Amino acid sequence: MDKESPRSVSFRTHRRGERSNLTLHTKDVEAGLPLGRVSQDNPMKIVWKKGFIRLVLVGGILWMLLILLASLLHVWSCQSSISFFSGCPIPLADDPDKIVIPKGRTPDEIVKNLTYVMEDEILPDGTQSSPLFGGHQNWSQREESFRLKSNMKVHCGFIRNGGAEMAPADIKYAKKCRFVVASGIFDGYDVPHQPSNLSPRSKKLFCFLMAVDETSLKFIKENVTVTEDSDGGKWVGIWRLVLLKHPPYDEPRRNGKVPKILTHRLFPKAQYSIWIDGKMELIVDPLLILERYLWCGKHTFAISQHKHHRNIYEEADSNKRRKRYARPLIDLHMKIYRYEGLEPWNSTKKTISDVPEGAIIIREHTAMSNLFSCLWFNEVNLFTPRDQLSFGYVVYRLGDLFRFFMFPNCEYNSLFVLHPHIREHSSRIEWVTNWNQLKGNGTISNKGKDWDQANANNGNLIESRGGLGLWTPYPANLDSVVLPPVDRTSKAG
């Protein structure tokens, strides 16, 4: 009996071990582990597998966080404010060297091929009319130009022998310019102002091209130092002066619209351009401007909102009060737009304003952007030279097909230092108050200075090469058109 007791205890212990092993084996099977594995290894392998899964999950989460952080950094570079600019804080990246320039061009989705009318019209008798820079666009051609197609041919200035010719040396120089900061001075009322805060990268990347007429070139030479390189190029600091021979218009203000609106025609090899008025001193690196106003939002056209007005009709009223052009011609211009369906701006419109501050225009020269510039210029060529009155009309005609970025005016004030004109430009037509004065009957008074119309411009003030749409019979009766009432939203405007 004594000999059997240990055996019995040993047997019971062995049976417990079998039951324990059986239990582990059952759990392994339930867990989906293959049979035949050593039971002692299973807990370690389970822990290892769980750890690996956790590692994969943590790695995935970290990778997603890195992507999110990179996105946030990009948004911050587009939206962070730099406090040292005047006006309001302007959202800009802070290092031009870190900006990534997009490769290639923005695809042309609507207008894929844009060409231009280069020869003036042939008259019914087979002869050719005297060339005009803007051409003899008729009303049906104007209407057709707003019907968008894949392939388009439109008037866009630069009719052969119409004026504004560049010297061969300037044409050759401009051909190598992909990035352009452009400006212009006409009628000798300014001198070039040197940009500041330029990075070495932008100095190498950008061409700074200043279009001038003969009067301005002479004035600049008399007031600042102009140097000449071995190829005959004329320079004032970083600005290369580009002489436009044979001014295409009677009015210097209208001549100034050529390089401003038709930058893509004057410098056809440029992919990006920033236009600034001649009285402005650029104080922001141009790469930062392209990043902020084009590349961050994937825009191809950007312009500032007007400081005071959103409504074209209010802007027109302001132009009359401030004597910016002949008042009856401004009214006729607005009557045509009103007849053609342009409503006064209101908060239900998709655009934040119909009136830009045109002293800065930022563009990628896509087919659609170039077409818009052509159509805008054609309106300036046909009607008054006040381009702010035409911008919103062209936007209205193109509707949602033309997308652009209109940024707050306070940002515009943060890009430049505004210098006063050295002298103010003034012409007789700006002081005209009625139709009789336009036709040479009566006297125009300008702050005590009287101009006798009988001896001016062959007895009238009609421009001979621009604004001809105001004197060409309109294909509808405008007598019943009533301009909308204007509520002045700003005394300053």
Q: What DSSP string describes 324-346?
A: -S-HHHHHHHHHHHHHTT-PPP-
- Provide long-range contacts, Cβ within 8 A and 24+ apart, for 364-367: 364/105, 364/106, 364/271, 364/272, 364/294, 364/299, 364/300, 364/301, 365/263, 365/264, 365/270, 365/271, 365/272, 365/273, 366/105, 366/106, 366/108, 366/300, 367/108, 367/111, 367/112, 367/113, 367/114
Task: Indicate the pairing of strand 234-236 with strand 227-228.
Answer: antiparallel
Cα(314)–Cα(316) distance, rounded to whole angstroms?
Answer: 5
Residue 19 makes CB contacts below 8 A (sequence gap 6+) with: none
Helix axes 327-339, 388-398, angle to 10 degrees: 10
Does the pLDDT value for residue 462 go beyond 90?
no
Does the pLDDT value for residue 286 go beyond 80?
yes
pLDDT at 386: 95
Q: What is the pLDDT of residues 430-458, one digit of tens each?
A: 888 988 888 766 555 555 455 444 344 44
The tokens describing 248, both together, are 């295409």
Does the pLDDT value for residue 203 go beyond 90?
yes
Q: Where are the domains of the chain?
A: 106-122+129-418
Cα(369)–Cα(264) distance, rounded to whole angstroms?
Answer: 9
Q: Where are the beta strands (DSSP E) in 220-375?
A: 227-228, 234-236, 239-245, 272-276, 280-282, 301-305, 356-364
Q: Which of 4-8, 51-55, 483-487 has the highest mean pLDDT?
A: 483-487
pLDDT at 98: 92
Q: What is the pLDDT of residues 27-70, one digit of tens each?
A: 444 444 444 444 455 666 665 666 667 777 777 787 777 666 64
Label residue 18 exposed, middle or buried (CB < 10 Å: 0-12, 13-18, 19+).
exposed
Find out whether 372 and 110 touch, Cβ atoms under 8 Å.
Answer: no
**Mean pLDDT on 149-166:** 96
Q: What is the pLDDT of residues 350-399, one digit of tens each?
A: 899 999 999 999 999 999 999 999 999 999 999 999 999 999 999 999 99
pLDDT at 123: 62
Cα(236)–Cα(220) distance, rounded to whole angstroms?
Answer: 9
Q: What is the pLDDT of residues 209-252, one digit of tens each?
A: 999 999 999 999 999 999 999 999 999 999 999 999 999 999 88
pLDDT at 326: 93
Q: How many CB atoms lie within 10 A of CB 245?
A: 11
Residue 479 makes CB contacts below 8 A (sequence gap 6+) with: none
Cα(491)–Cα(482) distance, rounded to whole angstroms?
Answer: 24
Does the pLDDT value for residue 315 go beyond 50?
yes
Cα(152)–Cα(34) distance, rounded to whole angstroms?
Answer: 73
Q: What is the pLDDT of residues 116-133, one digit of tens each?
A: 999 987 666 666 678 999
pLDDT at 285: 96
**pLDDT band, very low/low/confident/very high, at 83 (cuts 50, 70, 90):** very low
Does the pLDDT value for residue 19 go beyond 50?
no
pLDDT at 441: 66
Find out whether 19 and 12 touch, Cβ atoms under 8 Å.
Answer: no
Question: Dihedral, CA atoms, 71, 74, 76, 79, nearest 10 degrees?
Answer: -120
Query: Residue 365 in 3-state DSSP?
Result: coil
Cα(76)–Cα(81) distance, rounded to whole angstroms?
Answer: 9
Q: Tell me how long the chain is.
A: 493
Find out whether 121 and 128 touch, Cβ atoms under 8 Å.
Answer: yes
What's the whole-number average pLDDT of the chain? 84
429 or 247, which is more confident: 247
Q: What is the pLDDT of residues 168-198, one digit of tens each?
A: 999 999 999 999 999 999 998 889 999 999 9
Q: What is the DSSP letter of 128?
A: B
Does the pLDDT value for residue 18 go beyond 60?
no
441 or 203, which is more confident: 203
